[in-house]
Amino acid sequence: MTGEVAVLGAGMHPWGKWGRSFVEYGTVAARTALGDAGIGWRDVQSVVGADTVRGGYPGYVAGATFAQALGWQGARVTSVYAACASGAQAINTARAQILAGLAEVVLVVGADAAPKGFFAPAGGDRPDDPDWLRFRVLGATNPAYFALYARRRMAVHGDTPEDFALVKVKNAAAGALNPHARYRAPVTAEQVAASAVVADPLRLLDICATSDGAAALVLSSMEFARRHGATNPVRVRAVSTVTPTYPKAVLDLPDIATDSAVAVEPAPESFRASIARAAYEEAGVGPEDLSLAEVYDLSTALELEWYEDIGLCGAGEGAKLVREGATALGGRIPVNPSGGLASFGEAVPAQAIAQVCELTWQLRGAAGRRQVPGARVGITANQGLFGHGSAVVAVR
Amino acid sequence: MPQTRTPVVAGWFTGDSTDEDFRLLGTRCSACSSVFFPRQDVFCRNPQCAGGELTEVPLSRRGTVWSYTDGRYRPPAPYLSDPDVPWEPYTLVAVELAAERMVVLGQAAPGVGVADLAVGMTVEVAPGVLIGGAAAGTDSAPVWTTWHWRPVPSEGTGGAQGGAA
């Protein structure tokens, strides 16, 4: 099929709080991915880095930073930023370069070193910056938004805090089997219920941590993969990077208000649902074809919304899926078999790349004790603030 | 010496005024009638609109609760908060305005907790000061004024839920 690129290699630096530079994490992930691909660094023709806003200037020019750390060898470099969706935009940039014939082999890297506690906006006095304003005017942290969605689900769909806790229990059980995860201990519903409330109704164990970590992929043209001897590689078949349509009727980070729907009727489909739909259309598959999904569980409640947005069930039926165990390992459609953000914590520019790493290992049948049997088709879904959505469909 | 009263952000709500007169201030496009809050003063963001003049407009005083939460931990800077004063949780409310067909966030009035709120409840906007605002009570520091949402006492709670899910 035209439009596909091959995933030759995947690699990570384990997630945690290691107290070192994001450059070191990214370089470890890149070297691991190159080793996995059997590709020499000097054979890479392009490097795409997903930026981190926490690493100073090297973080803003991540592509060049990783190329220098690996040893300048003349490859073209690109650096992209799209908040939590940066990693998927980096993958999409690499794919576009390959499909356009600008490069045959591209290295994609994302890495972060996160501070403890709430993410905060860049410093200074910047009243023109919506991200600065939501903190200045309201003190609205990221968990505050997650909690608004969670409360809304409870009121509209009848979800309960116990449903949300089931998501954490499920993801912790999967993460316990993943050597790259930061949290590898099983978690009980009682432990979730006993953790401190951060933003009612969400508790500490409902909300993902902020982590250090890195992920990398080696992507190539299908023709290069054949010449390289990879006869049946995992293929990226679609990358969705759609934006919302006006009026956006759902309050997203860092909004203080939604768009007004006075002049134009909102689209019947939510922005998050449109992200997955675009990926399905491009890939020529649907939710019924999926073997697994990796979704952005910034909170437990948000994972349930993703079930609905990627078409695993109808609106309001997400909690039913997790109660039935359908989305657990061994269930009908495992979601976040990696352990998800619940087990990793968020390393922003690495996270969407890490989702594709997990698809790669699952589709290769190389995911060890968390393997989804016979995995053939997987989707990732992710949303970054300022209107960045992403979804990747990979097949084998 | 009286403390200076400074809006936490300029131009988003009416100045010191009585409860009845207090309003959030947005802008409205003269061509397509779209409303913007926070205010847009230069370009209309409706992609179907060729672009009209944006004029200031007060937003509806009352709306219904779309969702709500609280902040149990002190938010990071640039939130204006005195680190020497113990953090008191405050409540955030997302309110659906029927006439503008939009949802607007805000802090709840002091003393309004999550237990006092329900999705669909009627609330109204009121003048207030930033909760936990820095160095309140010292003579030299400004008092940061803002808007708050508070339940409307005489009306029923619950009932119709907003349609912006």
The predicted structure's pLDDT at residue B139: 55
The whole-chain average pLDDT of chain A stands at 96
CA atoms of A167 and A173, how far apart (whole Å)? 10
CA atoms of A262 and A175, how far apart (whole Å)? 45
The predicted structure's pLDDT at residue B164: 35
Q: Which of B6, B32, B69, B129 to mutate against chain A (most A CBs within 10 Å)? A: B69
CB atoms within 10 A of CB A370: 20
Binary contact (B78, A125; C-beta < 8 A): yes
For B54, the enclosing helix (H) or strand (E) is: strand B54-58
CA angle A341, A344, A345 (to 5 degrees): 65
For residue B127, give Cα distances in angstroms to A224, B7, B112, B145, B149. 65, 10, 14, 7, 9
3-state SS record for A59-89: HHCHHHHHHHHHCCCCCEEEEECECECHHHH
CA atoms of A377 and A359, how far apart (whole Å)? 8
Q: Which of A119, A137, A272 to mutate against chain B (most B CBs within 10 Å)? A: A137
A196 neighbourhood in chain B, CB within 8 Å: 72
A263 in reach of chain B (CB within 8 A): yes
Tens-digit pLDDT profile for chain B (165 aa)?
A: 557 889 999 999 998 667 889 999 999 999 999 999 999 999 999 999 999 999 999 999 999 999 999 999 999 999 998 888 899 999 999 999 999 999 999 999 999 999 999 999 999 999 999 887 655 445 566 789 999 999 997 644 444 433 333
Shortest Cα–Cα distance, A118 to chain B (Å): 7
The predicted structure's pLDDT at residue A121: 87
Q: Which of B69, B81, B165 lies at the smallest CB-CB distance from A144?
A: B69
CA B97 to chain centre: 12
DSSP β-ladder status, A212-220 and A5-16 = antiparallel
b (16+ CB within 10 A) / e for A82-114? bbbbbbbbbbbbbbbbbeeeebbbbbbbbbbbb
Contact A378, A291 (CB under 8 A): yes
What are the pLDDT digits (tens) for A170-196?
999 999 999 999 999 999 999 999 999
Q: Which among A198, A195, A82 has a CA at the least distance from the CA of A146? A: A198
ipTM above 0.85, yes or no: yes
Binary contact (B48, A149; C-beta < 8 A): no
B32 neighbourhood in chain A, CB within 8 Å: 263-264
The predicted structure's pLDDT at residue B160: 42
Q: Which of B79, B102, B118 lies at the smallest CB-CB distance from A135?
A: B79
Q: Which of B37, B102, B146 lies at the smallest CB-CB distance from A261?
A: B102
Cβ neighbours for A286, distance < 8 A, ≥ 6 positions apart: A280, A311
Kindly tell me the sign of the dihedral angle through the C-alpha atoms of A181, A70, A352, A220.
Answer: negative
CA dihedral A93, A96, A11, A118 (to 10 degrees): 20
A268 in reach of chain B (CB within 8 A): no
pTM above 0.90, yes or no: yes
- Which two three-digit tokens encode residue B12? 């988003």
The predicted structure's pLDDT at residue B158: 44
In this prediction, residues A83-111 reach a mean pLDDT of 97
- CA closest to A259 among chain B residues: B102
- Mark residue B123 as left, alpha or beta (left: phi above 0; alpha: psi -120 to 50; beta: remaining): beta
A152 neighbourhood in chain B, CB within 8 Å: 66-67, 119, 165
Shortest Cα–Cα distance, B68 to chain A (Å): 5
**Start-to-end C-alpha separation, chain B:** 49
A203 neighbourhood in chain B, CB within 8 Å: none
Binary contact (A263, B32; C-beta < 8 A): yes
Is residue A200's pLDDT more than 60? yes
The predicted structure's pLDDT at residue B133: 64
Shortest Cα–Cα distance, A337 to chain B (Å): 28
A264 neighbourhood in chain B, CB within 8 Å: 32, 34, 46, 48
- Which two three-digit tokens encode residue A321? 């899926």
B73 neighbourhood in chain A, CB within 8 Å: 118, 141, 198
Q: Which residue has the tokens 């594709």?
A: A356
Binary contact (A140, B77; C-beta < 8 A): no
All structural domains of chain B with their residue ranges: 60-151
A155 neighbourhood in chain B, CB within 8 Å: 67, 118-120, 161
The predicted structure's pLDDT at residue A394: 98
CA atoms of A135 and A133, how far apart (whole Å)? 5
What domains, with CATH codes, occur in chain A? Answer: 5-117+212-234 (3.40.47.10), 130-207+237-395 (3.40.47.10)
What are the pLDDT digits (tens) for A134-148?
999 999 999 999 999
The predicted structure's pLDDT at residue A116: 82
- CA closest to B134 among chain A residues: A136
- Which two three-digit tokens encode residue A147? 């909690």
For residue A264, give Cα distances in angstroms to A47, A59, A245, B64. 42, 39, 10, 21
